[in-house]
Structures are given as structure tokens and as C-alpha cells.
Amino acid sequence: MLQSLKNGKLKQNIAEITSSNLPPQQEVLRALALLLIENKNEISEAVTLLLSTTAENRHFREKALMYYCEALTQPSLHLQKAACMALKCLKATESIKMLTTLCQSEDEEIRKIASETLLSLGEDGRLEYEQLDKFPREFVKVGGHRGTEAATAF
């Protein structure tokens, strides 16, 4: 697969790669996720297609889901972004709660990509995002601090 990248023939070879000959090993999953965040459209499109196709295999999807959800908890922001993109390809609604946590990250880039991933996960993701979006408006006044509303409401 990596040789295909060098030759620029990855899209052609995607059809030949199946989940049965693409092992869901951590090194493979990590490499695929990191390729998703490269600034090369052809490569990220091919990896997106590959992950979407191989996710149809239950064993591969389960291993990938476990790995990418674990990656969301790692201190590496680069890996967290890559894992978000991979979960988006997998349409991993199982990761909604973990993505919601990342939407509250101090890092703006992580918040953005986690939000985009959450919104890509259909109705459940959108509803979770809306709930997340309501929290600051309901409990934080402009220029205020969280927790002060209870004292000032009466």
C-alpha cells in the first residue's frame, strides 16, 4: 500500500485491497489515520475510501473503532485529529460521547475537528452537538463565569 502512495496509484489499488488482506494492526490503523490529515487530497480521498470500504468487515471495524477511540485519549493532538478523521470515515456513532469530550478541549483545532466529526455522524451526532452547544448559552453569561448564575437568578 505504501508503495502505491509513492507511485501515485493508490486509488487504482484501493479496489484490490480488502479488509481480509488489510490487517487491523495498530501500526496500519495509525498510518491510515495520519494519512487522512495530510494536505494531499488524493491521498486522503483514497484512505477515506479504503477505511469506508474495509469498515464493512465487522472484525476490522471493531479493531479500528477500539484503536481510534483510544487514540482520542492520547496526549498527541496530531493523533487526536487523525483519529477524529478516521472515526468520521468509519461513521462511528459509538464514539459520539468521546468526541463530545474533545469538543470541550482547550485546543481550538481539536474542538473544530471533533465538532465536524460529531456533526458527520447523522442525527445522533447532530443532537449531541446541539446539546453541547446549548450548555454555554444557558449557563454562561457574557463576561460572566460559570456557576455565578445560580446566585444571581434569585
Give the CATH number of the domain where residue 38 resides: 1.25.40
**This prediction's pTM:** 0.76
* Average per-residue pLDDT for the chain: 80
- The 3-state DSSP composition of the chain as helix, strand, coil percent (nearest 5) reads 70, 0, 30
Tell me the range of 32-36, 129-133, 135-139 where mean pLDDT is highest: 32-36
pLDDT digits (tens, 9 = 90+) for 61-79: 999 999 999 999 999 999 9
Q: Can you give the residue range of the structural domain that contains 140?
A: 2-152
Cell of 17: 485491497
Structure confidence at residue 76 (pLDDT): 95
